[in-house]
Amino acid sequence: MKKVDIAIIGGGAAGLFAAAYAAEAFKAEPDSLRERQIVVLEKMPRPGRKINITGKGRGNITNTKMWDEFSLHVHPNPNFLKSAFYGMNTSETMSFFGRIGLPLSVERGNRVFPKSMRAMDVTDALVRTAKSSSQVDIVCGCQVETIEKLKEQSDNAACKFLIKTDRGDFEAEKVLIATGGLSYPSTGSTGDGYRFAESLGHTVTNLLPSLTALTPVGYKEGGMLSKFGKSLEGLQLKNVSASLVVNGAAVREEFGDLDFTDGGIEGALGFRLSRSGVMALSNGQKVSVSVDLKPSLSVEKIADRIKRESSGGNNTIRFLLNRLLPKQLIAPFLTLNRDLLNIDNGKAARALPERLKSLNFDIEGYVGYERCVVTNGGVSLKEVSQKTMESKLVSGLFFAGEVLDLDCDTGGYNLQTAFSTAALAMHNMLSR
Ligand SMILES: Cc1cc2nc3c(=O)[nH]c(=O)nc-3n(C[C@H](O)[C@H](O)[C@H](O)COP(=O)(O)OP(=O)(O)OC[C@H]3O[C@@H](n4cnc5c(N)ncnc54)[C@H](O)[C@@H]3O)c2cc1C
């Protein structure tokens, strides 16, 4: 049995950041922290597999927005993150990466990437920094199976933990659970941390995929793309607006780029609608996405344009759509507005502006954990101290990253959340 001071379970974004943070602290305070030994236990053959695929392989590691704006992208309880964010905010995160040898660049939308545009370099920088300290060990190919309390909490005595793995047992004074969520299980994130948390008395909230594709009715047949799905797949709509409609009421409106993929409605805009969409579908509510294909034009302006286009004498619906829409959208548009083909041309032309402002897709499902970006839900925030990331139920047990009931929009917010919670947890683990 190997004995350590701190065991970090999971060598992903949060676990590696915590380890690198500790290594930096050991260099800064060699005397007071000399006795500390940390082990990172990672089940995959290499750490940071999910980091390596972030931002389409480019690694959108944070976002330069200040808290007031940043917090709007954190769900379901941004306040929980506030202390962690103030301890390790976006500019401190950028300085940290600068110090450990990862030059960064800020792109459109305040998004921060490594200058090399290689997400792998993020993993490499964190691993290199962690390993630069002889007090930090990263053990890969080591699957944690159970975590048990060795001693009941009594008075001020902290409990020790017995960590059973497929490569032998570890005993630790403190444990940081940084096992991530359920998304992209091929990266190693298979939700084990939820099981560990529950076995130690914690509540795990309802879990759902988030930042995922919403699948329109008729898009797939028998698991494969239907003719309708094939006609839309690959289409990218730039600068459109779309509303998520639940039980007939618009609950969220977003503006941006919307992509149709083999899963359905995706892209930055689709992802932003997906959190509420998946929740509503899982509650059995009726969900649709209404796309405004011409958000900068009023119905009247579109009607004027249609009048001009038909002044040559041709006002058939196909002719008008050819003038107004990308080619690939015409067939699916007509599938969804078949009635326009069965009424006289003048009537159809008059109805067209409204239809262009609200192309309606009824939604029947969504792409699951195998390809969603984050997990909505996790270890209940009510049972974790937001000032320390320590469990309120088990002394010495800490949490960081996606295993917590925290998930964010796309744009670097999820990785920053993993880094901020990891830094706060490690700071508190080292200070005791
Ligand atoms: C395709 C994709 C693209 C993304 N792009 C971005 C982006 O550009 N910007 C952004 O901010 N966010 C992005 N995210 C989200 C972000 O990657 C995650 O929110 C973040 O990695 C969570 O960090 P984590 O450390 O909590 O979990 P993870 O990074 O998932 O790490 C958890 C680790 O724990 C290990 N583990 C699990 N169980 C065990 C066990 N029993 N024993 C030992 N080890 C275990 C896993 O193998 C894994 O390495 C993306 C996600 C995906 C899927």
Distance 44 CA to ligand 1 centre (A): 12
Residues framing ligand 1 (Cβ under 6 A): 9-15, 41-44, 49-51, 53-55, 60, 143-144, 178-180, 183-184, 188-189, 192, 373-374, 401-403, 412-415, 418
User: In angstroms, rounded to a whole number, what is the distance separating the alpha carbons of residues 398 and 396?
Assistant: 6
The gap between the terminal CA atoms of the chain, to the nearest Å, is 23
Nearest residue (by CA) to ligand 1, atom 27, is 180
Token pair of 430 as six digits: 């080292």
> Which pLDDT score is estimated for 156?
55
Report DSSP letters for 194-243, one per residue. HHHHHHTT--B---EEES-PEEETTSEETTEE-HHHHHHTT-EEEEEEEE
Residue 385 CB coordination number (10 Å): 16
Distance 417 CA to ligand 1 centre (A): 11
User: In angstroms, rounded to a whole number, what is the distance separating the alpha carbons of residues 395 and 411?
Assistant: 34
User: In angstroms, rounded to a whole number, what is the distance separating the alpha carbons of residues 13 and 312?
Assistant: 61
Q: Which of 282, 293, 299, 279 is nearest to 243 (CA)?
A: 293
Same domain, 320 and 254: yes
Same domain, 171 and 238: no
What is the separation of C-alpha 262 from the centre of its chain, rounded to a whole number of angstroms? Answer: 19
Same domain, 38 and 184: yes
Domain boundary, last residue among 339, 366, 393: 366
Report the SS3 class of residue 249: strand
Q: Find the CATH number of the domain harbouring 394.
A: 3.50.50.60
Same domain, 251 and 350: yes
Distance 245 CA to ligand 1 centre (A): 31
The residues with which 288 forms a beta bridge, in sequence order, are 245, 362
Expressed as residue numbers, the domain containing 333 is: 214-366
> What are phi and psi for residue 340, nearest 5 degrees?
-65, -20
Domain boundary, last residue among 366, 389, 421: 366
Distance 315 CA to ligand 1 centre (A): 53
Same domain, 63 and 115: yes
CB 174 within 8 A of CB 384: no
Same domain, 148 and 268: no
Which residues of the chain have a pLDDT value below 70? 152-159
Same domain, 198 and 53: yes
Distance 14 CA to ligand 1 centre (A): 8
> Which pLDDT score is estimated for 432?
86
Burial label for 1, CB within 10 Å (0-12, 13-18, 19+), is exposed
Q: What is the pTM of this model?
A: 0.95
Same domain, 194 and 321: no
Domain boundary, last residue among 366, 385, 401: 366
Same domain, 13 and 160: yes
Distance 24 CA to ligand 1 centre (A): 22
Number of domains within the chain? 2
The residues with which 93 forms a beta bridge, in sequence order, are none
Could you read off the pLDDT of 119-133 as tens digits, one per residue? 999 999 999 999 999
Same domain, 44 and 111: yes
Same domain, 233 and 293: yes
Nearest residue (by CA) to ligand 1, atom 4, is 54
Distance 80 CA to ligand 1 centre (A): 20
Distance 418 CA to ligand 1 centre (A): 9
Distance 211 CA to ligand 1 centre (A): 14
Measured from the Cα of 179, ligand 1's closest atom is: 34
Measured from the Cα of 119, ligand 1's closest atom is: 8
Measured from the Cα of 422, ligand 1's closest atom is: 25
Report the SS3 class of residue 278: helix
> Which pLDDT score is estimated for 159?
67
* Ligand 1 probe mutation, 183, 189, 275, 413, most atoms within 8 A of CB: 189
User: In angstroms, rounded to a whole number, what is the distance separating the alpha carbons of residues 225 and 218?
Assistant: 9
213-243 burial string, b = 16+ CB within 10 Å, else e?
bbbbebbbeeeebeebbebbbebebeebbbb
Same domain, 105 and 164: yes
* Ligand 1 probe mutation, 415, 416, 417, 420, most atoms within 8 A of CB: 415
DSSP 384: B
